[in-house]
Structure 1
Amino acid sequence: MKSSILTLILLFSISITYAQLPYTKVFGDSTSKPLIFLHGGPGSNAGSFELTTAQEIADMGYFVILYDRRGEGRSADLKAKYTFRQTFDDLNDLYKRFGIKRATLIGYSFGGLLATLYAEKYSDKVSSLVLVSSLLSLQDTYAAILDRSGVVFREKHDTAGLQQLQQVAGMDRSSIAFRTNCFALATKNAFFDTPHPNERAVVLNKKVKEDAVLTSLRADTSTAPGRGFWRNEHYTTIDITPKIEKLRDSHINIFAFYGKDDGLFAATQIDRLKTLIGSDHVWYLDDCAHAAFIDQQTLFMEAIASWIR
């Protein structure tokens, strides 16, 4: 009897975790409009969105699916290929598993790049595309990091920082080493963080920082995903803005949510995006950096509600 009750509880649980690869978790009613979250990276996971935002979005009347890509986060797989093809195959498997014909893709950072490329290839499966701090032109992002780092180092009269910057700037800009060093500069100069977080963001970031699972995942310094995608897809030179223009012309709804404190983007990149998809489709917010769905969670939920009806 107890076993039967436990089975029923598991079957009707609002939040369900699936054990098979890739690590997958769902929130909400499967008959509601499906939203699939694609996390950043390469080498990251969907944990922060899962911990802070997924249930809140589901409570608004959506079926939220998130997963860690094969070979990343909680989807450990020594046979992961780190190719767009395998990534898309796994995403197609999610569609099949949950009986989804069309879904909204929420692509965060590197996940936005993947979501855009997937939408180009499988446009019939994507109803809307939501880009959250999505990488657009990788080379423009690296240039923005270098430019802003130069400003910071000069303001601080940081001679060592300027020497480091000069060394990085002289690297092969298509290389994984250049990408790695640019993001190291971004981390060093706190380009991923807003200096003025609101009260809710402080609470949510504390929750993410103190979570045992995410702490363990952050301790994993494997470079296999980044090097794998670079070796197989040369992603350090990708620019998805032409793809966005193509998707716009194919009548896929595209929306964007970015923060003005995100040091990975120059304002000119956001202006270009506004030109491509329309200013009314882009929310560009104060007191908001890279983890935009955390930094301005209330506004993010408002945006989803207004965009995905």
Structure 2
Amino acid sequence: MPLMNINGNNLYYETYGNPDAQNTIMFLNGVMTTTTSWALYYPFFEKLGYRIVLHDFKGQMKSDKPEGPYTFKEHADDAKKLLEELGVVKVHLIGTSYGGEVAMRFAIDYPEAVASLVLIDAASEVDEISKLFVEGWKHLAQQQQGEAFFWGAVPSLYGNAFVAKNKDFLAERAKLMNDIDPNYFAGQVNLYETYVNDLNLTGELGRITCPTLVVLGENDLLTPRKFADILVKNIPNTEYMIIPECGHVTIFEQPEALKTAMIGFILKYC
């Protein structure tokens, strides 16, 4: 398992494509997921000649899970140092949910290192309802009961149409959670606390200078349209796409529409 010590923690990472490629894409995970969540996406960019970098944040599945609290600035700094160790100077960032928030922090802190930014179902701040959703996840994670944790999170993540069509798939994923390492839940608690206590980027969005694509699932309950509207209003150079019949996890619910959007967008800036 490839690990790199970054800022005192071992981070799991993967690379694909030509290491000497002119353009590199870094995918940044949602909070509950790992690098495999991008399996439907990175092969297309690899075929187009890009270098691909993926990693788990500290606290996530295959990386170290130190005691919290963490900050988004720490996650962004970890990602920057990982890229430096791999010899990457400039990167296209694609992030979903928590990963989108890390991507924004990265673009704010290291504008010279970002060629473009794709933000999928991400927010620059939290409100009381989103806090309640995440506090609910935290309570479930503390119980360390995988299947109950999964089903407790599903209503805030997936759209109704996807759930109706994929009940068997979701049931299989729920059962797999029963075999997960208990350390996963400890890491999740730290990540949820980071989201609730440290997500406060709105006042700095004007510092993002790269072209940005904001993507929103139309029926996203966790980060509804008002949060995407804030991004579009405050980030200077943005394009905006709303995907119908889709909840918070657009990367799983509408992969074909999302692939078309992100490939077309990034090709404009290479």
**TM-score bracket relative to the smaller structure:** 0.7 to 0.9
CA contact (8 A) 2:211 2:238 kept: no
Matched-pair contact (CA < 8 Å) for 1:135–1:141:
no
Distance in 1 between the 2:140 and 2:203 partners? Answer: 24
TM-score under structure 2 length normalisation: 0.75
**Which amino acid is the alignment partner of residue 34 of structure 2?**
A
Alignment partner, residue 257 of structure 1 = 215
Segments of 5+ residues of structure 2 without an aligned counterpart are 5-9, 142-148
- The answer on 1:37 being equivalent to 2:27 is yes
**8 Å Cα contact 2:18/2:50 also seen in 1:** yes
Residue type of the alignment partner of 1:36: M
Distance in 1 between residues matched to 2:78 and 2:230, nearest whole Å: 31
TM-score in terms of structure 1 length: 0.66
Moved more, 119-128 or 53-62: 53-62
Distance 1:207 1:60, change over 3 A: farther
Structure 1 counterpart of 2:160, one-letter code: P
Structure 1: 5+ residue stretches without partners:
1-16, 147-175
**Shift in alpha-carbon separation, 1:218–1:177, aligned structure 2, 3 A:** same
Mark the CA change 1:209 to 1:63 in structure 2 (over 3 Å): closer, same or farther. Answer: farther
Instruction: Give the greater-gyration-radius structure (CA).
Output: 1
1:68 maps onto 2:31 in alignment:
no
**Partner of 2:97 in structure 1?**
109
SS of the aligned residue for 2:103 comes to helix
Q: Give the aligned length.
A: 253
Letter in 2 for 1:38: L
Aligned residues of 2:212 and 2:238 also touching (Cα < 8 A): no
SS at match of 1:35: strand
Percent identical among aligned pairs is 18
- Write the distance in 2 (CA, Å) between the matches of 1:229 and 1:206: 22
Return the match for 1:209 from 160, 163, 173: 173
CA RMSD of aligned residues (A): 4.0
Paired residue secondary structure (2:257): helix
One-letter code aligned to 1:18? P
Q: Given that residues 25 and 65 in structure 1 are in contact (C-alpha distance below 8 angstroms), is that contact kept between their aligned partners in structure 2? A: yes
Q: Go from structure 1 to structure 2 and tell me whether the alpha carbon gap of 1:29 and 1:209 turns closer, same or farther (over 3 Å shift).
A: farther
Q: Indicate which of 110, 114, 122 corresponds to 1:134.
A: 122
In structure 2, how many angstroms separate the alpha carbons of the residues matched to 1:301 and 1:244? 25
Query: CA separation in 2, counterparts of 1:258 and 1:218?
Result: 32
Deviation at 1:192, TM superposition (A): 0.9
Cα deviation, residue 292, structure 1: 0.9
The residue that corresponds to 1:8 in the other structure is: none
- Alignment equivalent of 1:239, drawn from 200, 203, 226: 200
Partners of 2:25 and 2:52 within 8 A in 1: yes
- Conservation of the 8 A alpha-carbon contact between 1:83 and 1:229: no
